[in-house]
């Protein structure tokens, strides 16, 4: 039997109480409907999950676990490669920092350090024997080492850039009548470094 105003009136209940009973009954019914709808949604989600599970199970049965192993191995290898690249970059950055310090220690001009780093194969530098590395730096980059005392120009071999004119690549690689370079290897390196620093 449905709970109606008419039924409540026939039971001799006041009009005011009837209104309260009807409101309370409506709230109860709404709450039950909401709960029913929630269970219905949950049941549909459960059905979707069951379908996904069944599909996955079927895929494993037909293709085997190898598909997932391959995916894992591929992602694992990609991660290992990325990790190795990050480590290599970190090691290289450390070597660059150490080589900068050695250049400074050898007395190389601060203005020339970045240019020297650009043309240095940092992976080939031997950091195990610091004294030997410093000696190599002084031999290879001696022209860029800052000296405290000023020395006059050698009159037998006057300066190359007389009058402040800049050397061109043609000047740097110029050869004499016998096909030999006019400038020594060290002079050519120095001129190239100065050219790159000015550009």
Task: Report how far residue 28's alpha carbon sits from residue 51's, in angstroms, rounded to the nearest whole number.
Answer: 35
Domain enclosing residue 18, as ranges: 5-63
Same-domain check for residues 18 and 54? yes
Proportion of the chain above pLDDT 90, given as a percent: 0
**155-191 burial, b if ≥16 CB within 10 A, otherwise e?**
eeeeeeeeeeeebeeebbeeeeeeeeeebeeebbbbb
Contacts of 189 (CB under 8 A, 6+ apart): 140, 143
Does residue 122 sit in the same domain as residue 54?
no
The answer to whether residues 108 and 191 belong to one domain is: yes
pLDDT of residue 153: 53
Phi, psi of 87 (to 5 degrees): -65, -40
pLDDT tens by residue, 35-71: 888 888 888 888 888 888 888 777 777 766 666 677 7
User: For 169-199, what is each residue's pLDDT tens digit?
Assistant: 888 888 887 777 778 888 888 888 887 777 6
The H-or-E segment that residue 130 falls in is: helix 130-140
Same domain (yes/no): 93, 188: yes
Q: Does residue 69 form part of some domain?
A: no
- What's the domain count of the chain? 2
């Amino acid at each position: 039997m449905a709970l109606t105003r008419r039924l409540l009136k026939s039971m001799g209940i006041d009009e005011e109480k009837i209104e309260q009973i009807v409101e309370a009954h409506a709230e109860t019914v709404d709450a039950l409907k909401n709960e029913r709808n929630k269970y219905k949604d949950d049941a549909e989600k459960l059905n979707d999950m069951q379908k996904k599970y069944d599909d996955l199970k079927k895929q494993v049965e037909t293709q085997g676990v190898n598909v997932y192993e391959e995916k894992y191995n591929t992602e694992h290898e990609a991660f290992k490669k990325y990790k190795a690249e990050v480590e290599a970059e970190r090691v290289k950055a450390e070597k660059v920092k150490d080589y900068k310090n050695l250049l400074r220690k050898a007395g190389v001009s601060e203005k020339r350090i970045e240019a020297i780093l650009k043309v240095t194969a940092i992976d080939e530098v031997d950091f195990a024997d610091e004294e030997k590395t410093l000696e190599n730096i002084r031999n290879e980059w001696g022209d860029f080492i800052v000296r405290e005392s000023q020395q006059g120009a050698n009159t037998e071999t006057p300066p190359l850039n007389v009058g402040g004119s800049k050397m061109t690549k043609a000047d740097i690689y110029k050869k004499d009548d016998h096909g030999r370079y006019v400038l020594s290897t060290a002079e050519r390196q120095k001129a190239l470094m100065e050219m790159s620093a000015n550009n």
